[in-house]
Amino acid sequence: MSGLYGRLSIAGKQAVWAWAFLALPVLFYVVIRFWPTADSFLISFYSWNLLGTPRFVGLDNYVRMWSDPTFWLVFRNTFEYLIIGTPVSIVVAFVIAYYLDQVRFAHGLIRALYFIPFMTTAVAMAWVWRWFYQPVPIGVFNNLLSELDLPTQPFLRSTEQALPSVLAPAIWAGLGFQVVIFLAGLRAIPESYYEAARIDGAGKWMILRRITIPLLRPTVVFLVVISSIGFLRIFDQVFNMTDGSGGPLNSTKPLVLYIYETAFQSYQMGYAAAQTVVLFTILLLITLLQLWLLRSK
């Protein structure tokens, strides 16, 4: 064996080493990533409750999805999380990072304060916020409002307010991450650009609009994609703040919770798999969009 190896060219030896190193990982990616992906597509064409034999039903699951009002509501909710969550978190994070970048006094401490929520567990925080949202006499927010003689709010007990209420802790927890990424982006802008602009007599606002924001484009694209994917996959907060129901009246139920319910509570594996295919398609489009945006730079 070693004789055989000894006779190989340098390139040959490299290849042997490479494949020896890659053997286990390649097996892993095939068995734990690619095969399940294909399996999901396959299951989506079957009707199966986990117990009996899967029955091939063609496109039935997709047809059913098309005419399932709950699916469309859930679809809408999922995008609502995205459409509110992404811009709000990015704008707020940018404003904080922009000013924090200019601050020297206690810079590290303030940055740490913003970052700390990122280190928490979503499940734990969901329960903390869930308590905050309770009506008088136990909820912290409503007790505060009542103390100030302001009208109390239903929060999780309202079909309009529940979704933003569930979203808030998700934005809160991710904000520090985005601030730090923006700080890194701001620092990467060469000082010479600013000096040139100042020599040209540009004001602060002009510098922000003409230099800072355009040069932060890659950072913004990165954050938009990361947070979009995060909001599209929201689950932990909803599950723990609504007793796993996505209520009231399904007004907070995101796609992932619907998938979980369909698969692991109703045992309709085929229908659930069809929903995951839709989620996959959406995430794929977003990732491709990111690649395209970064390339057109």
Partner 1 sequence: MLRRFGRAMAAAAVGIAVAWGGSASAQQKVTIEYWQYFFQQRVTAVDKLIAEFKKQNPDIEVVHNHFPYADYRTKVAAAIPAGQGPDVVQLFYGWLDDYIREKLIQPLPAAQFPIAEMEQRYFPIVQAMKRDGQYYAVPTAVRSLALFWNKRLYREAGLDPEKPPQTLDEMVEHAKKIVKRDRNGNVTTAGMTIDMTAQDHHWIREVLIRQFGGAPYSADSRKVTYDSDAGRKALQFYVDLQRVHQVGTNGFMDESQAAFRAGRAGIHLDGSFRLGALQNQRGLEWGVTELPAQDGKRSNFASYWVNAVTSKATGPKAEAAAKFLQFMVSDAAMQLWLAETGELPAAKAAALSPANLAHPLYGPFIRGLDYAAATEFVNETAQRQILIDAVDRVLLKNQSVADSVKEAAAAEQKLLDDHHRK
Partner 2 sequence: MTAGALPSTAARGAVRFKDVRPGRIVAWTLLAMGGIAMVMPLVVMISTSLKYPHEVYDLNLIPVEPTLENYLHIFQNTKFLRWFVNSLIISILTTASVVFFDGLVGYVLCKFSFRGRQVVFVAILSTLMIPTEMLVIPWYLMARDFGWLNSVWGIMFPGIMTGFGTFLMRQFFEGVPDDYIHAARIDGLNEFQIWWRIAMPLVTPALSALAIFTFLGNWTAFLWPLIATSNRDLYTLPVGLASFSGEFATEWEMVMAGASLATLPTLVFFLIFQRYIIRGVMLTGVKG
Stretch 235-254: interaction string toward partner 1, x if CB under 8 A? --------xxx-xxx-----
Instruction: Classify the phi-psi angles of 95: left when phi > 0, otherwise alpha if psi is within -120 to 50, otherwise beta.
Output: alpha
Task: Select the residue interacting with partner 2 from 5, 8, 26, 150 (CB under 8 A).
Answer: 26
Closest C-alpha among 155, 180, 176, 187 to residue 251: 155
147 binds partner 2 (CB under 8 A): yes
Site for partner 1 in 62-91 (CB under 8 A): none
Query: Is 138 one of the binding residues for partner 1 (CB under 8 A)?
Result: yes
> By CB under 8 A, is residue 224 in contact with partner 2?
no
Question: Could you give the CA distance from residue 96 to residue 179 in angstroms, rounded to a whole number?
Answer: 7
Rg (CA), the chain: 25
Q: What does each C-alpha distance from 116 to 7, 65, 112, 127, 157 come to in angstroms?
A: 57, 40, 6, 17, 29
Distance CA 37, CA 27 (A): 15
Tokens 């129901």 correspond to what residue? 245
Residue window 90-129: x/- pattern of binding to partner 2, with contact defined by CB under 8 A: ------x--xxxxxxxxxxxxxxxxxxx-xxxxxxx-xxx
Site map (CB under 8 A) of partner 1, residues 88-127, x = contact: ----------------------------------------
| Subset of 172-211 contacting partner 1 (CB under 8 A) | none
* Contact partner at residue 152 from partner 1, partner 2, none, CB < 5 to 8 Å by partner kind: partner 1
Q: Which of 78, 89, 142, 252 binds partner 1 (CB under 8 A)?
A: 142
